[in-house]
Structure 1
Amino acid sequence: MNTSAIVQTQNLTKKYESINSVNKVDLYVQEGEIYGFLGPNGAGKTTTLKMLLGLIKPSEGTINIFGESLIKCRSSILQRTGSLIESPSYYGHLTGLENMRVMQRLRNVPDKNIHEALRIVRLENQMDKKAEQYSLGMKQRLGIAMALLAFPKLLILDEPTNGLDPTGINEIRELIKSLPARYGITVLLSSHMLSEIDQIATSVGIISDGHLLFQGSIESLRKKGRSAILIKTGDNTKAEELLLTQGYSLTKSGSRLEFDNLADREVAEINRLLVEHYIPVTRIEEQKKSLEDIFLGLTGKERSL
């Protein structure tokens, strides 16, 4: 294990009967990152996060957090970890402040932490209101405040913007983005929304059917998406025959011919060949793949998140 990693797993597996919900996952989360754990519903995200917190016992594999074994040092690790899994837990008949005091007794932290955590999530003016009267976004922020109460080194959030309206999503997004620089908190959050991960995360892991398909920076993920060049001619059949004899690899895409990742000089050469053989070129365009296109290419499944 690399002791410089905040979170590192090897062959992490959770089997239910004969089905691997999580299958040999090797997570690597570095200090100061916002690590986006991305995948469709049912991909294994929540199960993985629960194993990181010791809420579920792995069938196989190892978990090291802060360079320590979760099995041997669970209490010490959890003292430095905050989490919000699935949905906030709170007492509806208590105020936001009273809920925070319940958590304070469990975490054994000073009063100043309560007020700072409520200020960070912008609930300081709503702390005397009963939690059952909170909006969905306020309840989510209360859950995050509870997770932040001990100002952990690692914050694990499971779908923190799920069910929120656009304003609530933006508030939570900006809050999370501020945590590494302002408070030295490393964030590991799951999401099924590509747009969220793209806007908030510095690194990403893509999981599907329990398998970790990609792990790295957002930029390295984008680089996996090759640009396509689409060419439309007056006679696509003749153009295809000509270009195949010249060694070019192409596919038909509707009324156009598609080429993967051509250099500018190759586009110019194809255009020259077609014109010299009296095949009119009516359109040349570049089509860049979105993150969703890249995701579908990795999973091989024609479905959106």
Structure 2
Amino acid sequence: MPDLVIETTGLRKEFRTRRGGLRVAVDDLDLSVPAGGVHGFLGPNGSGKTTTIRMLLGLASATRGTMRLFGEPVPDRLPAVIDRVGAVVESPKFSPHFSGRQNLLLLARSIDAPASRVDAAVETVGLTGRDGDRYRSYSLGMKQRLAIAATLLKEPDLLILDEPTNGLDPAGIREIRETIRGLGAAGVTVLLSSHILAEVQQVCTSATIVGNGRLLASGNVDDLLDSGTAHRVVVPDVVAARTALEAAGLPATTEADGSLSVETDDPAAITRALAAGDLWLTELSPLRPDLESFFLRLTAADNLATSAREAR
């Protein structure tokens, strides 16, 4: 097993509601983040991502469960590892009248970091040439990159980013994406919390998907996408094939190109159902979903299961 930078076991967080009820924000979550690369922490808004991050950083207490950063139990041993962790969880406070560089220099002095780290951080996040501009003139994307630069002053081994592209325009999203990709390539482990799947797929090497506070899937991104059960079916008579498949308990969806999409973990069942109707395949191949499709299918199924439990 690879070295784990973040590990949680049975992590749970409960809140009391105003009406005296109980809300479970994180439900027995097992999270494993290997060292190196960019790990996506993915889930719909309200799925417990930020709450989990706050517990890891000692900003919220867990109801039960265990957490480790670099093998050290937290929050008990958090002071021993916190210097190895950088995080952008909430909007950082910078002086609007100072330049980006001046803000970073003030932060560097406060943690006894050499001024040379400011130059390195500015270059890493792509603010060279704009670091002399006042912070108040920065776009939202530039402000986010400055926030990341601030975390890099202590040269962290782990960088935690909570929804770093929220509110950004396409240009700002691209800038943050390139910054994150560069950090992962440079050896920093990045935990990227997000619900924007199209962006995440371009930078993440591994991912954990959560829904309603629970773990739904985790692993290498390519392995997750290869684990799907959808198949592309091409036949001369689409209408007859769809009827035969559905009669065999294999619901089929007609795609825009005239092919059929069939969900099953037994592709031989497709050939049997079609052969029974004297229908012959032109093509049968696995469909590899993109991360967004995989995510939506998982979370939709989880929402249905959650509704069913609550209705009992």
Q: What interval of TM-score do these two structures reach, taking the shorter chain for normalisation?
A: 0.7 to 0.9
Name the residue aligned to 1:159.
163
Matching of residues 104-143 of structure 1 within 5 Å:
104-143=108-147
Contact map agreement 1:80 1:153 (CA 8 A) in 2: yes
- Structure 2 SS opposite 1:101: helix
Shift of 1:63: 1.2
Contact map agreement 1:12 1:62 (CA 8 A) in 2: yes
Call closer, same or farther: CA 1:249–1:203 in 2, change over 3 Å.
same
**In percent, how many aligned pairs have the same letter?**
37
Shift of 1:45: 0.9
- Structure 2 SS opposite 1:116: helix
CA–CA distance in 2 between the matches of 1:211 and 1:42? Answer: 11
Name the residue aligned to 1:7.
6
Name the residue aligned to 1:52.
56
Task: Report Cα offsets for 1:138-189 as digits up to 9, x if no partner.
Answer: 101100100111110100011112222222212211221122332x211101
CA–CA distance in 2 between the matches of 1:238 and 1:169? Answer: 41
Call closer, same or farther: CA 1:135–1:165 in 2, change over 3 Å.
same
- Structure 2 SS opposite 1:164: coil
Name the residue aligned to 1:193.
196
Contact map agreement 2:229 2:265 (CA 8 A) in 1: no
Contact map agreement 1:3 1:67 (CA 8 A) in 2: no
CA–CA distance in 2 between the matches of 1:166 and 1:252? Answer: 35
Shift of 1:28: 0.7
Q: Higher mean Cα deviation, 30-39 or 263-272?
A: 263-272
Contact map agreement 2:238 2:259 (CA 8 A) in 1: no
Shift of 1:224: 2.5
Partner amino acid, structure 2, of 1:293:
S
CA–CA distance in 1 between the matches of 2:156 and 2:47? Answer: 27
Partner amino acid, structure 2, of 1:296:
L
Name the residue aligned to 2:224.
221
TM-score normalised by length of structure 1? 0.84
Q: CA RMSD in A?
A: 3.2
Q: Higher mean Cα deviation, 130-139 or 162-171?
A: 162-171
Runs (5+) with no aligned partner, structure 1: none
Call closer, same or farther: CA 1:24–1:264 in 2, change over 3 Å.
closer
Q: Higher mean Cα deviation, 105-114 or 85-94?
A: 85-94
Runs (5+) with no aligned partner, structure 2: 17-21, 304-312
Partner amino acid, structure 2, of 1:260:
E
Q: How many pairs align?
A: 293
Name the residue aligned to 2:250.
250
Is 1:149 the counterpart of 2:153? The answer is yes
Shift of 1:233: 3.5
Task: Report Cα offsets for 1:196-253 as digits up to 9, x if no partner.
Answer: 2211100101111111111111012112322234457487399639x96xxx542254
Task: Report Cα offsets for 1:246-293 as digits up to 9, x if no partner.
Answer: xx5422547997643588877666655544xxx7x7987768344333
Matching of residues 228-247 of structure 1 within 5 Å:
228-230=231-233, 233=237, 236=240, 240=244
Runs of 4+ in 1 over 3 A off after TM superposition: 229-239, 252-275, 281-287
CA–CA distance in 1 between the matches of 2:296 and 2:236? Answer: 25
CA–CA distance in 1 between the matches of 2:238 and 2:57? Answer: 61
